């Protein structure tokens, strides 16, 4: 287990978090980082072929990955998938948290799934699953790496249904937890990565400079 303490909690040295909107280039960056490692890679896929269009997307994504990568398909238990993948690979690429959260909520579908809001109990269960994922990341060897991809869905139109708004808000909380814990975090805009951890450090340093100068 490898981590360091900061003011915001434990930072997981093995964890890289990549966030972005649809077609922002986030998955492509994750693939490039994994391939550039020149090490054994395992791809953890959360997508399920729920319809023909999604099945075609899955086929295209598989074709983009090198043939010698391991693939683990796990729509729900991310901690278990990380433990399994870590037995055979050095770099683990999990893509993505967005579909995982959708899978998890659908697995516990309520009577009126299109209208019902997400309960506090369900939200707590989701965040417990996120903590299990982080524990699995902390348990990796110091020379292993976990790259996690997720969507930023909070910048667009406000969803019409209570479920949609709850999903948006809950994914935002999930993303916050991963970004806070990750040693490296990037936000993709139009294919270009922004280094969030560097921005965080530079912003903190600017605040401290202002305090020291009495501004």
Q: Is 191 annotated as a binding residue?
A: no
Residue 85 marked ligand-binding: no
Tokens of 74: 């796990």
Q: Is 172 flagged in the annotation as binding? A: no
Q: Given 11, 40, 48, 61, which residue is catalytic?
A: 61
Distance (Å, whole) CA 45 – CA 92? 11
61 is catalytic: yes
Dist CA 180 CA 167 (whole Å): 20
The reply, when asked if residue 23 is annotated as ligand binding, is yes
The CA–CA distances, whole Å, from 124 to 121, 173, 174, 199 equal: 5, 11, 11, 30
Annotated ligand binding at 5? The verdict is no
Q: Binding residue per annotation — 152? A: no
Query: Has 47 been labeled as part of a binding site?
Result: yes
65 is in an annotated binding site: yes
Tell whether 62 is in a known binding site: yes
Q: Which residues are annotated as a binding site?
A: 20-27, 45-47, 62-65, 73, 95
Binding residues for GTP: 20-27, 45-47, 62-65, 73, 95
Write out the catalytic residue numbers.
Answer: 61
């Amino acid at each position: 287990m490898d981590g360091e303490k900061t003011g915001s909690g434990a930072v997981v040295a093995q964890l890289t978090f990549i966030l972005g909107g649809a077609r922002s280039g986030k998955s492509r960056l994750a693939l490039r980082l994994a391939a550039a490692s020149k090490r054994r890679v395992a791809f953890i896929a959360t997508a399920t072929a729920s319809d023909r269009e999604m099945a075609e997307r899955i086929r295209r994504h598989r074709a983009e990955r090198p043939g010698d990568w391991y693939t683990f398909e796990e729509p729900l238990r991310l901690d278990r998938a990380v433990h399994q993948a870590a037995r055979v690979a050095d770099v683990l690429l999990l893509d993505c948290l967005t579909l995982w959260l959708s899978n998890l909520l659908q697995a516990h579908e309520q009577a009126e799934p299109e209208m019902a809001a997400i309960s506090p109990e369900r939200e707590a269960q989701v965040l417990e699953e996120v903590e299990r994922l982080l524990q699995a990341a902390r348990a990796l060897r110091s020379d292993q790496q976990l790259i996690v991809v997720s969507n930023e869905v909070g910048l667009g139109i406000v969803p019409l249904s209570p479920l949609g708004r709850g999903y948006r808000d809950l994914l935002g909380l999930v993303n916050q937890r991963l970004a806070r814990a990750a040693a490296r975090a990037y936000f993709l805009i139009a294919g270009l990565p922004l280094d969030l951890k560097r921005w965080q450090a530079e912003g903190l340093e600017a605040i401290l400079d202002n305090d020291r100068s009495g501004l």
